[in-house]
Structure 1
């Protein structure tokens, strides 16, 4: 199916903050974690809702669109960097090259209204995600963060389906990580709800969690103004994923409890979490279906939030990137040999997370400051490993926009590669999880037949 023919753009506009905050008149200097991200894709996540009958029977969609735009304009008062654009600071003598957020010279965040002649059931395939449809629900398809010099840093695409509404959000990953992304989304939903009941939401004190925009720098360093480049052509590489199969797998409370208990018994501890046990399971099973030689070194990388790991910790509502990865490493034989069961890799991952404390975070940041570099998707992740991203702790299903609870979450093309796994809260809540797994087609087919994996999956 041709993606360009699946979704019709009806209108677009740009949304600015309802009121211009005084602090937005100054440039936003980006932190070390932000400045490493210009070649990474935008974050693209979206929520699928049932369409209220009133949208068709009473033509209520235009009114809904107006309320979305109004609440977005109010939300951008608090999240004003998202209405800006990137700008490069550059001079020859003394040498200077860096990037900032300019909140003054920008038309604002982009808002697109679109229509797709599909139903909810077309999207919620029981097997593969219909990527030709879903990817078209997002703006900035295949854009990298550096493109935010000329493109919006935030783009909302409201897709009307035959019986559904899909709200797709693309957010520049130099501006924030997953924690920041869902902080924005949660605040937008909160303001929308407050507007519906007539509550005043026009001041900074009117949302429950105002974002903290002051970026964190290691002691002794201020804004980073000395990246080792003179032109963006020296570091920009655009990653194109191979043809992948994408599929969601559901793990219930009961299934995860069994995995956790099994991993703890087999490792002789009580400290392994459900997430660590599940990650170990995915690592083992994907390694098995890839059929590596026994000596092949493989790893499981896990995205980790540094806010609480610094000492003193950063505020949980710090807005920006504050993430790194930790990993467990083993050969294929070590992972799959019979006497190294699920508990063995689960303990490796537990120890990697346990050891990621203040000194480890600062050591990595200090090394980057001394020798700055840009992450490249095609180089940073190797084809022999897996990467566990996103988090089931993010409040995704609490965003309702007057439509009731979403029926599903889906993501765009961004930041996907063979071995990428995204973790989401399960629809029914509790401790359940949904996993979005991306693999080469032949490996996905093998994973669907892997007994150890399928024994824990709840279809």
Structure 2
């Protein structure tokens, strides 16, 4: 567990589903190729910072924690796999390594109460230019990889009390849930928390666990040592993490600019660039510029694509799992920085998403099971000379709809995992309206240059 001298561990317990599982819910839940390729990766860590109600409003942290645990138990009646553990079945001939969720083995979700130093306030978290290290201490299981879910909880909730705030941080096994499913769970938990009758455990969007057989299969291994690789030998570099705010006006302006540039270049397709593609293209261009790479060298933009609506028949929007694929776009620095500008950079991202269709996804799954590739911890984004940006999460997630009776959160934050030189995490802006918050992780010198980059600075202006 990640700790900090400023954060004291007070208590912990395991929370189980409120009601007995049905016979159907006790059946093993198997993984798809999308999930299994992530066995070596770390847990997803996201959380929300709230203002603490004043005590004269009859607020009690003890009562609040009890309400959180009870509503969590009720929520787990629907999201029961989160309370379980992973299991493995090994077959000898031919060698076959089958990993699945075993709901029969359901010790529960870990729930931690921690307390920051009495002097630690919300402003200590939000006011520094760069994300302070204490934020990483608001999350549990920072050193775990997804395969560790055989013995560790698949979900750990850590509630940290500040002098004037409360942080609710979740660490969820990425094998079982992507960002879409993470925030589906969080919004359902908040919904039940606000319900007057938690015993009924009613949620507006029950999760869907049914897997498509085409996407499932076994691993051709006889032992975990054949594919497990941890992070101990990955070199660590000193990074700066900073949030940048794109108002709804600045996002709209970027989107308009990108589409106008395509039109000016006699492109027959007009207004095809989305807000997210425009902002991503801007970040790619500006970070590549301040890295000062040679014009003939390659630059890479990687981003996760949600496959729920990509395959036919499509998966439900409420499908609970991790059906994402990492898509890479590679071009030369010269082409990315050409006079064609933002529009052409955004177009390369748009075309990559467009080409990632049902045929491409199923071809990837078929190829993967013939020759499985388990992602390994990469040293690429740990290098000072990295030529990659890696974009994760999404501004489309309804993070600020999760209130837990505390009103709208002040900010969303993430933990220490999956952060390297060029990592970018997208969040919705708190004010809504299409605004976007972007968390950027870069080498200190590169971050300083990005902050002074004229194209980047002008895009942030109102």
On whether the aligned pair clears a TM of 0.5, the verdict is yes
Matched, 1:320 2:321: yes
1:28-47 equivalences under 5 Å are 28-47=29-48
1:307-330 deviations in Å (ceiling 9; x for gaps):
111112111101101111233321
Matched, 1:224 2:225: no
Match of 2:350 in 1: 350
- SS of corresponding position for 2:447: helix
Deviating above 4 A after TM superposition, structure 1's stretches of 4 or more consecutive aligned residues are 56-59, 379-382
Q: CA deviation at 1:286?
A: 0.6
In 1, Cα distance between equivalents of 2:9 and 2:461? 37
1:29-68 deviations in Å (ceiling 9; x for gaps):
11111111111110000000000112x7756111111110
Matched, 1:456 2:459: yes
**Structure 2 unaligned residues grouped into runs of 5+:** 264-269
1:361-376 equivalences under 5 Å are 361-376=361-376
In 1, Cα distance between equivalents of 2:114 and 2:213? 41
Q: CA deviation at 1:98?
A: 2.1
Match of 1:266 in 2: 261
In 1, Cα distance between equivalents of 2:103 and 2:346? 44
Match of 1:417 in 2: 420
- SS of corresponding position for 1:107: coil
Which among 446, 449, 452 is matched to residue 446 of structure 1? Answer: 449
Match of 2:399 in 1: 396
Match of 2:439 in 1: 436
Match of 1:176 in 2: 177
Match of 2:70 in 1: 70
In 2, Cα distance between equivalents of 1:379 and 1:80? 35
Tell me the TM-score normalized by structure 2. Answer: 0.93
In 2, Cα distance between equivalents of 1:58 and 1:398? 24
Tell me the TM-score normalized by structure 1. Answer: 0.93
Q: CA deviation at 1:145?
A: 0.7
Cα pair distance change 1:353/1:380, threshold 3 Å: farther
Q: CA deviation at 1:216?
A: 2.6
1:74-107 deviations in Å (ceiling 9; x for gaps):
0001001100111121132442212111122232
Match of 2:121 in 1: 119
In 1, Cα distance between equivalents of 2:380 and 2:151? 26
Q: CA deviation at 1:358?
A: 0.8
In 2, Cα distance between equivalents of 1:215 and 1:384? 36
- SS of corresponding position for 1:135: helix
Match of 2:16 in 1: 16
In 1, Cα distance between equivalents of 2:191 and 2:26? 26
In 2, Cα distance between equivalents of 1:398 and 1:57? 23
1:235-286 deviations in Å (ceiling 9; x for gaps):
2222354221111000001101111111111111321111111111000011
Matched, 1:254 2:249: yes
Paired residues, number: 446
**Structure 1 unaligned residues grouped into runs of 5+:** none
